[in-house]
Amino acid sequence: MKSKNQGLTLESLRDEVIGIDTKIPLLDGTERRYVFLDNAASTPTFRSVIKCIEEFLPWYSGVHRGVGYKAVVATNVYEQTHRIAGEFVGADLNDNVVLFGKNTTECVNKLANRFSFKADDVVISTMMEHHSNDLPWRKHCRVIHVGIRPDGGVDLDMLKTEMKKHAGKVKLVAVSGASNVTGICNPIYDIAEWTHAVGAKIFVDAAQLAAHRKINILPNDDPRDIDFIAYSAHKIYAPFGIGVLVGPKEFFALGAPDLVGGGTVSYVGLDEVEWGNLPQKEEAGSPNVVGAVALAEAITILQSVGMDVIAKHEQKVLEYAIPRMKKLNGIRIYGPTEDVSNKVGVIPFNIDGMDHALVSTILSVEGGIGVRNGNFCAQPYMRKLLGVTAEEEKMKRAARCDNPSLPGMVRASFGCYNNEEDVDIFLDMLNRIIRKEYRGKYVIDSITGMYSTDGYEPLAAHRFRFFDERFVPTKSEEVA
């Protein structure tokens, strides 16, 4: 299946986004085009991705081991999607293997499970990390969390100090390519070189980086190469349940896979098992072939436009938005606001004196704008940015059953299709909120921490066929 996306531009790419012109009801009874500024959580998809899936589905079949015509076609396509996913991050597929999972979280857990950690081994991570690049390592060994600077960036001097201090015991350094909270990009190639100098491996969580910057993990013999990297399809315009893990073949060839069962073996006796070849050995069960096809098509679309072109455009949108936000009274932006050349399109903020959940709700109900609020699955980082002391944290933890509105932020995040018009709509609504010009009388639910207002029931009128209005979503402990 060959891509038909040659010659795409940023302008035509916006038209490719499914739902770009979807209108939603507002509190005042009117409708407005939905402005989606929640791309750091999950992106929409492209029309070409759906078309590609439709073209593939007549050939869909179970992959591997089948000799039926459709099985042969589907297997070939599925294997090519691995190649496309690996080449997207510059992987030399003679030395590296591409493994598919459900998402980045599952991929990180797989990697953590496949390391042979000893009791005194150390993983060095940072306070910036998403919980999914923190908690999996804690299951296996000691994790040292490097602190952050006042601007939200990782304290690189502290990182180098910890590496040298624990040289010989450091098994892995696990860092984000870009923060899902502030958008700050880490100098992953410098960190890789420092990591290799102390005899350790590096893992880069690229979930927030892959859609926004060109990535090249470099050859395995390069001192700055990235040993392991993971990213998710749902954050790069293919929300169909695929995560990607790339790493050295020699690493995954050793030992048993973390998940075993169908597809992972070449021979099974009552007392003996021989594991299969990569990548099948590490992809237990029937794989998500359609999700892999969607990922491959989304990648070809982004590459057709050009990752450097996308990065430049998103930088322009960010540089348009932040100075204008800073002019609004009572807005507190977290992370860098002057030189934003080293961050992707994420803006975390609060309005003085207002609950982050309330701000998010008003933006949606009265502005038709989708953002996200909460802790973004990065609670240690969030508390540090907010300046929450250890004593305050202890008190809030003790009271959280009675106080669902814990400290957090609002996050606006841009994709390759967002433009200055989207920013203007967002800023206009923010200004109305600051001036208390919103219409609704909002009430917080003491259990869920969610806000509602009388006269607004969008779910009853706008729902998908499987929506059941008897069950409405509630706010969970974490919001990714």
- Please state the pTM of the whole predicted model: 0.94
Q: What is the dihedral of CA 429, 434, 436, 442, to 10 degrees?
A: 80
Measured between alpha carbons, how far apart are the two ends of the chain, in Å?
34
d(CA 106, CA 109): 5
CB atoms within 10 A of CB 406: 21
Delimit the domains of the chain by residue range.
10-44+306-461, 50-303
* DSSP, residue by residue, 343-403: B-SEEEEEETTS-HHHHHHHHHHHH-EE-EEE-TT-HHHHHHHHT--HHHHHHHHHHTTT-
For 308, counting Cβ atoms within 10 Å of its Cβ (0-12 exposed, 13-18 middle, 19+ buried), the class is: exposed
The residues that bridge with 347 in the sheet, in sequence order, are 412
The answer to whether 179 and 204 have CB atoms below 8 angstroms apart is: no
Q: What is the dihedral of CA 120, 123, 128, 130, to 10 degrees?
A: -100
CB atoms within 10 A of CB 113: 14
- The residue among 381, 356, 44 whose CA lies nearest residue 179 is 381
The encoded tokens of residue 410 equal 């609002």
Position 454 scores a pLDDT of: 82
- The residue among 128, 202, 134 whose CA lies nearest residue 163 is 202
Q: Is 410 helix (H, G, I), strand (E, B) or coil?
A: strand
Q: Which CATH number fits domain 50-303: 3.40.50.1010, 2.60.120.10, 3.10.150.10, 3.40.640.10?
A: 3.40.640.10
Catalytic residue, candidates 52, 107, 377, 416:
377
Give the residue ranges of the chain where pLDDT is below 50.
1, 401-404, 460, 474-480
Q: Going by CATH, does the domain composed of 10-44+306-461 fall within 3.90.1150.10?
A: yes
52 catalytically annotated: no
Position 40 scores a pLDDT of: 98
